[in-house]
A and B are shown apart, each in its own frame.
Chain A
């Protein structure tokens, strides 16, 4: 599996480098703007945090697109003619998405929050009467309202759960469409429709079990930005377990179809 991960990483290394480069550029822009305007630099740090989420979604999307290319293009021979069982190929791919996606997401968010800290301490010193001071203080207070380590662990669990669940469902949709509609027109469209149907079904059932939709929220209230993290995380445990169960079932079904039914 390590070999699969190595080549998944190599194939995408330029994309990952671009994402790291963007992070560095935004951070440099923050440092420059911080010397002139706290409003702009605050905006930059929020952009970094939002870009972290965007990067995570891009890594997921690219991981799914690459699996589709492996199934439908001749370069897939390179992967599927190796003496590696299908489940290890899938697990290797998902693990790379998880590691890279989480690392980039945490990297972006870490820089974003570090920058907000930097602005907060600089503003307290230079411009304590600014209207931004209480807003930033409120944002940081909401982040550190509980145990920070536990909050970060919960955040990591949520990312892993979300990524695994999205990728496994997308892999299953692609694998089913590749095994049933091999080379036929509309194969990609069917896999997208199938993914959306599976996604909506799982989300619907999951929401009936318990609600994690408002576990993380960033609200612009009258007192400024307010970050709510996992206020009902424990109650959402059943939904998380259900979604992980669906991911495991989708993974097993994809591995079986790849081994027995899918023509490359």
Chain B
């Protein structure tokens, strides 16, 4: 899957949350979407998932304009709790199974079992960490061509984050792309192979993590400090 954004802009009255973004996401890569609060990461992800509508520019998915059909291949997991409050974990599986052809219910149950979460647990009674795990399991149990995870590690303890990071990489389908936004820059270092830095709604820089390491002898965290500490 190839996603191309050209001149992508999202305005909220006078404020531009995403400003003239040109971006190309290709299959087989894990992208880190980085930037401080308010830099436009979440808005960009929501535009790609179709939840937020662009004000200007274009987005194409394999050459076709983004519309509701693209949601069959795009899995988006927001940082906020979003499951219906009546749901048990098993209801989440049933819901995804009903709406997404690429959802593998057995895989979902395997993932939550590994996370020691029972299918009978009520979603509203889960801790923020457990809820984050269920959200990640639901996203990764889909064989989506593009997976968007917005701040997936929020509320998860350090040890669980390591386990989840390994699980995310292990569960990625061949040829699919993953975009992760997170404030925990260091922890993305070992997961991602591309880094996209956003600043004031624009793409400040996009680089290959390995090339950055070899050519400039810098980590993503170094690059992050370099970009965002600029006056």
- Asked if A pairs with B, the answer is yes
* Residues of chain A at the chain B interface (Cβ within 8 Å): 3, 6-7, 10-11, 74-75, 77-78, 80-86, 182-183, 259-264
On chain B, the residues within 8 Å of A75 by CB distance are 82-85
A-contact bits for B6-45, CB 8 A (1 contact / 0 none): 0000001000000000000000000000000000000000
B43-79 interface with A by 8 A CB criterion? 46, 49-53, 67-72, 76, 78
On chain B, the residues within 8 Å of A259 by CB distance are 67-68
Chain A residue nearest in CB terms to B81? A74
Whether B228 sits at the interface, judged by CB under 8 Å, is: no
Contact A262:B53 (CB < 8 A) given known A11-B86, A83-B69, A83-B100: yes
Chain A contact residues, majority secondary structure: loop
Is B49 touching A81 in the complex (CB atoms < 8 A)? yes
Contact A77:B51 (CB < 8 A) given known A6-B98, A11-B86, A263-B46: yes
On chain B, the residues within 8 Å of A3 by CB distance are 98-99
Total A-B pairs, Cβ < 8 A: 59
Question: Which one of A11, A74, A263 lies within 8 Å of B78 (CB-CB)?
Answer: A74
**B13 CB to closest chain A CB, in angstroms?**
8
**B140 CB to closest chain A CB, in angstroms?**
16
Whether B80 sits at the interface, judged by CB under 8 Å, is: yes
Contact A83:B68 (CB < 8 A) given known A10-B86, A74-B78, A77-B78: yes
Measured as residues with beta carbon below 8 angstroms from the partner, the interface class of chain B is 20 to 34
A198–B30 Cα gap in the complex (Å)? 49
Is B68 touching A85 in the complex (CB atoms < 8 A)? yes
A3–B94 Cα gap in the complex (Å)? 11
A183–B17 Cα gap in the complex (Å)? 14
Can you report 5 residue pairs joining A to B where beta carbons are below 8 Å apart? A10-B86, A80-B50, A82-B71, A84-B99, A263-B51
Question: Which one of B53, B82, B98 lies within 8 Å of A260 (CB-CB)?
Answer: B53
A80–B71 Cα gap in the complex (Å)? 9
**B83 CB to closest chain A CB, in angstroms?**
7
Is A82 touching B99 in the complex (CB atoms < 8 A)? yes
On chain A, the residues within 8 Å of B81 by CB distance are 74
Contact A11:B84 (CB < 8 A) given known A86-B68, A263-B53: yes
Contact A78:B76 (CB < 8 A) given known A83-B71, A85-B68, A182-B12: no
The 4 closest A-B pairs by CB, nearest first: A83-B71, A83-B72, A77-B82, A82-B99
A259–B68 Cα gap in the complex (Å)? 8
A83–B68 Cα gap in the complex (Å)? 6
Is A83 touching B78 in the complex (CB atoms < 8 A)? no
Is A78 touching B84 in the complex (CB atoms < 8 A)? yes
On chain A, the residues within 8 Å of B76 by CB distance are 77, 81
On chain A, the residues within 8 Å of B83 by CB distance are 75, 78
A260–B66 Cα gap in the complex (Å)? 11
Contact A264:B52 (CB < 8 A) given known A75-B82, A78-B82: yes
A262–B67 Cα gap in the complex (Å)? 13
A77–B75 Cα gap in the complex (Å)? 12
B159-209 interface with A by 8 A CB criterion? none
A80–B78 Cα gap in the complex (Å)? 13
On chain B, the residues within 8 Å of A84 by CB distance are 68, 99
Chain B residue nearest in CB terms to A80? B51
User: 4 additional contacts, CB 8 Å, given A77-B76, A81-B76?
Assistant: A10-B86, A74-B80, A74-B81, A261-B53
